[in-house]
């Protein structure tokens, strides 16, 4: 069954927007019509792709509005697009505020009931949703959703426990396109980032405090005592300035490149030897999965849903958050021991291919769409 789906996400850099965009592209590839409804074109989306449509939400402002009411403008646009293109369902990524907008759009839609699915990504539950001012409406919007998915078992359980949600929360894990994200035949010995052949470490995130970005700099400084290494910091956000400052203080600023936001991380990942993900919390850890698909062993933290992705000692390493010394030791081991690196790199790629590749995960969304459409 081909569906006509409206997808809403944050169009900026961030895991939930990336998952939503990649899902839309994969669905369009499989013959479904996909309508993105958001305030900007999602970063990884080429709107010229066949069967992909983009509908901008315009939020007009007025002196009276200290906070322009985006959720309402979004709900209006969702209802409009649903009516005009006869959408079968809405699928929103990140509960706040998309889920409430979808609920309003559903109520505004006069023809048969327009079902909506909410996919929970992590901070919408663990940080923002837990905030006192958002807690009741987040719980309400989740309960009102016709379908709910979570990107890990950890997040499923957390949502059920924390919000007391009794409805089924279907776990559909994040995925990666293993044809696009893949290792290089030969990782070059030197590159523009490491002309003297230093091995490259990589960190990719939105540089928020939850990512413990400063730990990346500390890990580099520590690991460099044992092996020459250069760190690529991809992304941007509030912790970038402090990270640049710390690199100067620790005397490693020449050994770190801050690349900012990048549109084609699949071209950068395969150059790296080790991926750093020292997060305080991750409900899944999409950046680690993308790196693993490119054969880059992750050194990450044992938090949230990360152990559902990385098996410690097999396809990566897990240490306690904040334990810089332990993470740096793992990095140095991977840089110095070529056979260990080769084993973990190939296991990482294998994990991505066998458990998280699009061909395994996208059909789970298609089945769920069918189930939810038929249930209303
Ligand atoms: O933390 C981020 O990178 C942003 C955030 C988001 O919603 O954009 O990421 C969450 O969703 C990603 C995609 O499903 C997950 O891979 C991340 O683990 C999750 N972040 C946290 O739980 C902190």
Q: Which residue has the higher pLDDT, 318 or 129?
A: 318
Cβ 294 under 6 angstroms from ligand 1: no
Cβ 290 under 6 angstroms from ligand 1: no
Contact between residue 51 and residue 28 where contact means Cβ atoms under 8 Å apart: yes
Which class for 344: exposed (0-12), middle (13-18), buried (19 or more C-beta within 10 A)?
Answer: buried
pLDDT of 100 over the 80 cut:
yes
363 Cβ contact partners less than 8 Å away, ≥ 6 residues apart: none
Distance 90 CA to ligand 1 centre (A): 21
| Mean pLDDT of the residues in the chain | 94
Strands of 33-38's sheet in order across: 52-56, 33-38, 4-8, 89-93, 116-120, 147-150, 170-171
Q: Which residue segments constitute the domains of the chain, with CATH numbers given?
A: 4-175+358-375 (3.40.50.2000), 199-356 (3.40.50.2000)
pLDDT digits (tens, 9 = 90+) for 337-356: 999 999 999 999 999 999 99
Distance 19 CA to ligand 1 centre (A): 9
The percentage of residues in the chain with a pLDDT greater than 70, rounded to a whole number, is: 99
Q: Which residue has the higher pLDDT, 126 or 375?
A: 375
pLDDT, residue 196, reads 83
What is the separation of C-alpha 200 from the centre of its chain, rounded to a whole number of angstroms? Answer: 22
Cβ 282 under 6 angstroms from ligand 1: yes
pLDDT, residue 124, reads 78
pLDDT of 361 over the 80 cut:
yes
pLDDT, residue 190, reads 66
Between CA 136 and CA 140 the distance in angstroms is 6
Cβ 206 under 6 angstroms from ligand 1: yes
Between CA 309 and CA 305 the distance in angstroms is 7
- Ligand 1: atom nearest CA of 208 is 1
* Averaged pLDDT, 325-340: 98
- Which 3 state secondary structure label does DSSP give 357? strand
Between CA 330 and CA 201 the distance in angstroms is 12
- Ligand 1: atom nearest CA of 124 is 7
Residue 83 pLDDT grade (very low, low, confident, very high; cuts 50, 70, 90):
very high
pLDDT of 267 over the 80 cut:
yes
The percentage of residues in the chain with a pLDDT greater than 90, rounded to a whole number, is: 82
pLDDT digits (tens, 9 = 90+) for 176-225: 999 999 999 877 776 788 878 899 999 999 999 999 999 999 999 999 99
pLDDT digits (tens, 9 = 90+) for 140-189: 999 999 999 999 999 999 999 988 988 999 999 999 999 999 999 877 77
pTM tops 0.85: yes
* Averaged pLDDT, 300-306: 98
Residue 11 pLDDT grade (very low, low, confident, very high; cuts 50, 70, 90):
very high
């Amino acid at each position: 069954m081909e569906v006509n789906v409206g997808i809403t996400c944050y169009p900026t850099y961030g895991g939930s927007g990336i998952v939503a965009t990649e899902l839309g592209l994969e669905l369009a590839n499989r013959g479904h019509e996909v309508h993105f409804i958001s305030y900007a074109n999602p970063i990884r989306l080429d709107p010229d792709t066949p069967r992909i449509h983009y509908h901008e939400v315009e939020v007009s402002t007025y002196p009276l509005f200290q906070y322009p009411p985006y959720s309402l403008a979004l709900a209006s646009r969702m209802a409009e697009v649903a009516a005009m293109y006869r959408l079968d369902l809405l699928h929103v990524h990140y509960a706040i505020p998309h889920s409430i907008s979808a609920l309003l759009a559903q109520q505004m839609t006069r023809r048969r009931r327009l079902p909506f699915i909410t996919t929970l990504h992590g901070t919408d539950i663990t940080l923002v949703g837990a905030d006192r001012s958002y807690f009741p409406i987040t719980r309400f919007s989740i309960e009102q959703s016709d379908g709910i998915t979570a990107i890990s078992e950890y997040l499923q359980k957390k949502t059920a426990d924390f919000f007391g949600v009794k409805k089924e929360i279907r776990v559909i894990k994040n995925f990666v396109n293993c044809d696009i994200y893949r290792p290089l035949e030969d990782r070059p010995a030197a590159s523009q980032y490491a002309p003297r052949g230093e091995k490259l470490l990589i960190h990719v995130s939105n540089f928020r405090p939850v990512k413990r970005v400063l730990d990346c700099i500390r890990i580099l400084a520590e690991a460099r005592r044992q092996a020459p290494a250069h760190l690529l910091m991809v992304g941007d956000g509030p912790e970038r300035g402090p990270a640049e400052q710390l690199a100067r203080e620790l005397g490693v600023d020449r050994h770190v490149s801050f690349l900012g936001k990048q549109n084609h991380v699949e071209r950068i990942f395969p150059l790296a030897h080790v991926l750093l993900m020292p997060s305080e919390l991750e409900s899944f850890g999409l950046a680690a999965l993308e790196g693993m698909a490119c054969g880059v062993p992750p050194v990450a933290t044992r938090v949230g849903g990360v152990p559902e992705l990385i098996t410690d000692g097999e396809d990566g390493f897990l240490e306690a958050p904040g334990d810089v010394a332990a993470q740096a030791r793992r990095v140095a081991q991977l840089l110095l021991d070529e056979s260990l690196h080769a084993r973990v790199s190939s296991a990482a790629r294998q994990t991505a291919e066998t458990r998280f590749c699009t061909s395994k995960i996208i059909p789970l969304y298609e089945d769920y769409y069918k189930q939810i459409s038929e249930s209303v």
